[in-house]
Structure 1
């Protein structure tokens, strides 16, 4: 992020947001494949609209029985995710027991597979593309402050919804946090925007008071609030209809929420529903890992990593580390140091980070980076 002095905002969404529902379903299908075949090739997309869920994609497993088994259980997995998220009726969200679920699974194209599972035994990149990783000293997690606080607000919304503290909350929600930066560092919070789905019987004033008391106040301490601090809670005044009833959900439509909240560039490729041979996912995780090493080792206070690949080719076509003038030693070449230390081919990334495991479903809400609640290998130092 190039801002030095001024305001910067980031957004997060809840696990019940329709796009996040789609991500969660796609990653639940991915995990089901990896449970049976760690080397499965998975590209799963989900769309939700009103009372209909469509899951589609291309898949390859060593045994045809594993493909068939996941396809046969896919409908049950979808309903499980919807119920786990907190939806229970059609009028204002989606009914997990009665909604229509369509399954459109295909076998992976041989044209793609021949470039990934190459005859020479080398794992080629599953697609062309560019990926970014980022780390900074804004927070202990080495993440930008605005996105971390937005995620915390959304996690808190889920907590007080599920434990009954605010009984009229429903699963769909969004939070936006605006920080003031001075000399490149976040100093105070200027504004919180939080919209949450709710049941019909609650009055707007009661909802705003409860959200302020039980969600915002526990997350945003007084000493972080500017003199002009303000909250905008459900600014439209009513948010009863939500989830797929209120808006169509699609896999991969919240890529900025998933990463750095706009504080760093994004290569454009989404994560959810993709196995780690797809460098959109695995190389983005590796880029975060590398950027975090730069900051954690004290080489710089801010680091951005870019990787780029060609489909079917193992070696990256480019790799660069940018430290924005915050490096401790101007003579040290971080790109060269990391290139010599780490294997940046897909097979090397997958092996080092242990990505052929069913670890993805929990990442599909509240961000893929800076997570202290999950043991994610790309967050290791």
Structure 2
């Protein structure tokens, strides 16, 4: 039996964190390809360091994309984040492109052919999760951690707080009683800032954003509110630490409140089940919780490279009267979980991925342009009819 009274912690990082800079560049290039060819194949990695970016990976597209176009897309992503510093500047950074054509062996295993369905792009297992702890149906610690760093970035972009620089991290620890979150016991925020500010100055600048992000009355004790605990944080981003695509997969998902299959999302087109099947699993889990069938829902799917349909679908429910085996069968009826079926159902073959690169791939608002389509709750009525 799980404990009813415990502490749980999750962290988030801002769009200016070096790993998130890498994720954004990779996803911006995915969007560049998909905007020209919805069937393009992209597997792109980015490395960021002091005034240098390296692009590598493999692609295939009916409409070519040049190295120069990828480099300019990378510059645009860095500029949008707001890096104009001596050690990392969107205009001055050296960008090297080592992207090549996709290997034929991968293509032949994935592509559809005569009498053959399109297969998964790789083997692997993916998880989706939803919890009724927040309106977004996300675990509360990661939801509040995202809110803090996103609010700092919005204040920086708007000019309301020019003292903030792009790189930031947050960490929220919540107390659970009776299995429900009730208050914060500690909050940690580290944010890059303009030179000349004291630690106390930064603490007071950050405080209102933390208080606004948490539910009323949830603010942690003053002695457990840590802001830039090591002191000054002027040099940050890729100038302070190397960044790589795909190193923040727990920040991208559920903050450790649910398992992760191991595969990163950013830099991958939606034929890669690491990305698309994780989105599909979240979509199904969210609809299960939104339908009131469980307080929490965890879904695992598993694939083999070149094989169209999942090898397994597993459902685990918390506080539910629903038979998991029946729910597994129902979900497979409601959604075709082959790679092509997922892309069609969620309309994933669009340039919609750059916004996912920071503040989590889940718990976001589905947009009219197709962004975050996996956050829709359009299966609720069918699920209620099936289990009413």
For 1:17, the equivalent position in structure 2 comes to: 17
Distance 1:137 1:98, change over 3 A: same
1:354 corresponds to 2:347: yes
- Structure 1 residue ranges, 4+ long, deviating more than 6 angstroms after superposition: none
For 1:88, the equivalent position in structure 2 comes to: 84
Partners in 1 of 2:339 and 2:128 — Cα distance?
16
Partners in 1 of 2:299 and 2:343 — Cα distance?
18
Give the 3-state SS of the residue equivalent to 1:340 in structure 2: helix
Given that 2:366 and 2:375 are in contact with CA atoms closer than 8 Å, whether structure 1 keeps it comes out as: no
Residue from 184, 188, 193 that aligns with 1:189: 184
For 1:56, the equivalent position in structure 2 comes to: 56
Q: 1:337 offset after TM fit, Å? A: 1.5
Give the 3-state SS of the residue equivalent to 1:323 in structure 2: strand
1:285 corresponds to 2:279: yes
| Per-residue Cα deviation, 1:275-327 (whole angstroms, up to 9, x for no partner) | 01100000000000111121111111110000000000001011111104x11
Distance 1:3 1:82, change over 3 A: farther
Residue from 227, 230, 236 that aligns with 1:236: 230
Give the 3-state SS of the residue equivalent to 2:206 in structure 1: helix
Please report the TM-score for the alignment, with normalisation by the length of structure 2: 0.93
Partners in 1 of 2:294 and 2:6 — Cα distance?
22
Give the 3-state SS of the residue equivalent to 1:223 in structure 2: coil
Partners in 1 of 2:104 and 2:244 — Cα distance?
26
1:378 corresponds to 2:374: yes
More displaced 10-residue stretch of structure 1: 312-321 or 120-129: 120-129
For 2:137, the equivalent position in structure 1 comes to: 142
> What is the Cα-based RMSD across aligned positions, in Å?
1.7
Q: 1:230 offset after TM fit, Å? A: 2.8
Given that 1:32 and 1:70 are in contact with CA atoms closer than 8 Å, whether structure 2 keeps it comes out as: no
Partners in 1 of 2:14 and 2:146 — Cα distance?
8
Distance 1:105 1:2, change over 3 A: farther
- How many residues are matched? 373
| Per-residue Cα deviation, 1:107-154 (whole angstroms, up to 9, x for no partner) | 000000001113235211000000000001101111000000000001
Residue from 261, 264, 270 that aligns with 2:258: 264
| Per-residue Cα deviation, 1:28-68 (whole angstroms, up to 9, x for no partner) | 00000000000000000000111110011100112xxx22x
| Per-residue Cα deviation, 1:196-221 (whole angstroms, up to 9, x for no partner) | 001112122211111113x2122224
Residue from 170, 173, 176 that aligns with 2:171: 176
1:364 corresponds to 2:357: yes
Given that 1:189 and 1:229 are in contact with CA atoms closer than 8 Å, whether structure 2 keeps it comes out as: no
Distance 1:117 1:7, change over 3 A: same
For 1:112, the equivalent position in structure 2 comes to: 106
Residue from 134, 142, 149 that aligns with 1:154: 149
Q: 1:339 offset after TM fit, Å? A: 1.7
Q: 1:228 offset after TM fit, Å? A: 7.4
For 2:383, the equivalent position in structure 1 comes to: none
Q: 1:72 offset after TM fit, Å? A: 2.7
Give the 3-state SS of the residue equivalent to 2:74 in structure 1: helix
Please report the TM-score for the alignment, with normalisation by the length of structure 1: 0.94
Partners in 2 of 1:256 and 1:172 — Cα distance?
18
Partners in 2 of 1:283 and 1:221 — Cα distance?
32
Partners in 1 of 2:18 and 2:324 — Cα distance?
48
Distance 1:346 1:152, change over 3 A: same
Give the 3-state SS of the residue equivalent to 1:306 in structure 2: strand
Q: 1:372 offset after TM fit, Å? A: 2.3
For 2:380, the equivalent position in structure 1 comes to: none
